[in-house]
Amino acid sequence: MRTRLIVAFIVVALLSAVVSEWFANIVLPYYRLPAWLADTTGSQVVRTRPAYPAAPHAAVAIGLTGAAVLLAAITGVAYAASRRVLRPVRRLAQAAQRMSGGDLSVRIQAHGRDELARLITSFNSMAAALEDKVGELQRMEARARQFAGDVSHELRTPLTAMTAVADMLGEHPGLDGDTAAASVLVRQEIFHLGRLVEDLIEISRFDAGTAQLVIDDTDIATALSGCLRTRGWTDVSADVPAGLTARLDRRRFDVIVANLVGNALRHGSPPVTVTARAHPRSQGGGHLTLEVRDHGPGLPEAAIPHVFDRFYKADTARARSEGSGLGLAIAWENARLHGGHIEAGNHPGGGAMFTASLPLNCHCPVRGKTPQAVPAAL
């Protein structure tokens, strides 16, 4: 590359010298230069007529034509030299842009053995190493997800047996005192473990891309009241317009509501309110907004970007979460599966507020695999 630039510079300099000499010998003899310009140019031109027609305008025309031809030649040389230099740089920029978009298989063919060729070779080596590392990380992540899913499924059978035995012990009339208290504690821990296993199985379905929607016309008021009543949350108030319906997966909508309300009850303060509204569009469609608000201290600002991360704890002093630590992750995934999303924040009047936005008419019965950067739970 350095050699090409030097040669191009020498050629341009020689052509410029030819243009100057030609202009001095063809055009200047027909005009009297000012003294100061003659001194600066060092012109010692003798007024003699050349062999071609002596009319000054003809001389000017010939000089300008020659200057234009030489200028075009200089421009062509400069363009050719710069193109040879800039083309590999442009290809490098395009390849880097494709890599930033996720295409790690991009490679550039190197020509020659100059600095740019060595740079392209280094870029290809870097891209290959990066592709190998990312592929290895993806394989490790896939194995880890498969392991979590397999272990969760394997735990179901012993948990079923443990739950049955714990229920029998709880109903045994001969248990009293510490034994009865221990029986209650065991049942609670088995229930907690069972919930964690079920949540892990649900998350593994999202990661594997096998989660599906069963879409049906859903009365939002009925679905909300059923969710609250089933879980015994009689102190949670719901504000839903009569006749509000949406095409949703009822079970997954129930999971969204249950996880958001359960999170508000565990980490916030009463009263907890649930508000649903429809926002139709003139072209059809529109979306449903579901707001769950508590009146507690609210979310720490530093925790808001991470509240959907799996097993995330806003309070690091808590050694254990009261839930599975995946509730908000599962709610977020179910909203995404519908083609919607959930946002977390604090209400201006105090307390945390989670807002789920879902399409009124979902047309996505099956969604693909979860992206690599997946928000998950509190």
- DSSP bridge partners of 355: 291, 343
CA distances to 6, 8, 80 from 11, rounded to whole Å, are 9, 5, 12
For residue 342, what is the enclosing H or E element? strand 341-346
Going residue by residue through the chain (378 aa), what tens digit of pLDDT does each one get? Answer: 556 656 666 766 776 676 666 666 655 555 555 555 455 455 454 444 444 444 456 655 665 676 677 667 767 766 776 666 677 778 888 888 888 888 888 888 877 777 778 888 888 888 889 888 888 888 877 777 777 667 777 777 788 888 888 877 777 777 777 777 888 888 888 887 877 788 777 887 787 777 888 898 999 999 999 999 998 998 899 999 988 999 999 999 999 999 999 999 988 888 999 999 998 875 667 899 999 999 998 899 988 888 898 877 766 555 555 556 788 989 999 999 999 999 999 999 889 999 999 998 876 654 443 333 333 333
**DSSP letter at 63?**
H
By C-alpha distance, which of 258, 250, 249, 259 is closest to 212? 249
Give the helix/strand (H/E) hosting 247.
Answer: strand 245-249
- From 200, 230, 236, 232, select the one nearest 333 (Cα to Cα): 200
3-state helix, strand, coil in the chain (%, to 5): 55, 10, 35
In 231-326, which ranges are continuous DSSP H helix? 250-267
Helix (H, G, I), strand (E, B) or coil at 248: strand
pTM: 0.57
N-terminal to C-terminal alpha carbon distance within the chain: 57
Residue pair 218/248 in contact (Cβ under 8 Å)? The answer is: yes
